[in-house]
Amino acid sequence: MTKIEEIKLEDLKPKKFIEQKINEISSIIGSGLAINALSGGVDSSAVTMLGHKALGEKLKTYFIDNGLMRQDEPGYVVTLFKKLGVHVEILDAKKEFFNALKGLTDPEEKREAITQTFYKNVFGQLVKKSGAKFLLQGTIYTDVEETIAGIKRQHNILEQIGINTEESFGYKVIEPLIQLRKTGVREVAKALGLPEKVYKRPPFPGPALVARVIGEVTPERVETVRKATKIVEEELSDTKAFQYLAILHEDRVTGIRDGKRDFGLQIEVRCWESKDALKGTPTRLPYDTLDKLAQRLTTEVAGVVSVTYNITKKPPSTIEAV
Ligand code: XMP
């Protein structure tokens, strides 16, 4: 395993970094073809722009619709990048992902299912069809650190844990952002000309809403957490917190609806202050904000009878629940 050298924020010169990475990408790929997946997050958005500056038409960008993303995300991403001159193709892979997740409840097994479906099935097929030999992706320094430290297997960590992607999946992975942390990526994204709503967007995990569903991941349970996520994002975007999210619990609790017993769902809200996601502190939200969240989540999301707010720091908590 080659040691990755971090580029600290104070040493980062975004324009120079971009120039260097464009040269590196063009020389590795030469006249060949590359593909990349764009989720709409800051990391994959930055990689998409870098890749297109380096390769132009030789890079094909896909939005993998795994059925696990936030509401209206595919349309949002395609429209946004169209304005930036990048064509993004949507690939419907909902069935593959839900089949792979069926019956799984263990967090690391769920993460492994996402990794295998993403890299082996979906990208393996794409690579075969397109003839591309390279996958460009937005792995960052913190992803590597957490996986190596044994905290969570970040879905995108492959070569660093000994997976030979050429042997296992049939293509090589290129990771231009791997020496940067999130704040550095935001600087690069800004210098690449991405709009503020992209380079300032709160982080969203690679395994998407799977990271926020405790227990089995079914289309219905994802729909519940997707609706709750939308409400939490609407209510908390003004806080300017590092990240805010909704989690669907596995346990049900007794509640009351229309004067009758309702053995219903529990949503946990989390809102984090953090610099680089390695440590975090819950935001001291005003009680009125919490009250409004409880009101909206119990009336707008079917089946929810209980809303809690996480008051635990990371560590021992983590930012996501899975
Ligand atoms: P945790 O839950 O480990 O999250 O405290 C730390 C930060 O990383 C994001 N996250 C991920 N990002 N692939 C990613 O690209 C992953 O598998 C993954 N898991 C968590 C999380 O949203 C937080 O910002």
Q: Is the pLDDT of residue 286 over 90?
A: yes
State mean pLDDT over 176-184. 96
Categorize the per-residue pLDDT at 243 as very low, low, confident or very high, splitting at 50, 70 and 90. very high
Q: Is the pLDDT of residue 73 over 90?
A: yes
Q: Is the pLDDT of residue 22 over 90?
A: yes
- Residue identifier of the C-alpha nearest atom 18 of ligand 1: 205
**CB of 66 within 8 A of CB of 98?**
no
Q: Is the pLDDT of residue 201 over 90?
A: yes
Task: Summarize pLDDT for 74-108 with one digit per residue, the tens.
Answer: 999 999 999 999 999 999 999 999 999 999 999 99
Mean pLDDT of the chain: 95
pTM of the model: 0.92
Whether the bond between 315 and the residue before it is cis, its omega within 30 degrees of 0, is: yes
Q: How far is CA 253 from CA 100, 208, 223, 231, in A?
A: 28, 26, 19, 21
Residues in contact with ligand 1 (CB, 6 Å cut-off): 143, 146, 151-152, 154-156, 203, 205-207, 211, 243, 277, 314, 318-320
Q: Which atom from ligand 1 is nearest to the alpha carbon of 151?
A: 3
By most ligand atoms within 8 Å of CB, the mutation choice from 152, 272, 279 for ligand 1 is 152
Q: Is the pLDDT of residue 1 over 60?
A: no
Task: Summarize pLDDT for 150-159 with one digit per residue, the tens.
Answer: 888 787 888 8
By most ligand atoms within 8 Å of CB, the mutation choice from 109, 154, 310, 317 for ligand 1 is 154
Q: Which atom from ligand 1 is nearest to the alpha carbon of 274?
A: 24
Q: 78 alpha carbon to ligand 1 midpoint, in Å?
A: 24
Q: What is the pLDDT of residue 173?
A: 94
Q: Which atom from ligand 1 is nearest to the alpha carbon of 207?
A: 17
Q: What is the pLDDT of residue 2?
A: 65
Q: 256 alpha carbon to ligand 1 midpoint, in Å?
A: 35
Q: What is the pLDDT of residue 47?
A: 98
Q: What is the pLDDT of residue 158?
A: 84
Categorize the per-residue pLDDT at 253 as very low, low, confident or very high, splitting at 50, 70 and 90. very high
Q: How far is CA 114 from CA 154, 155, 164, in A?
A: 10, 7, 18
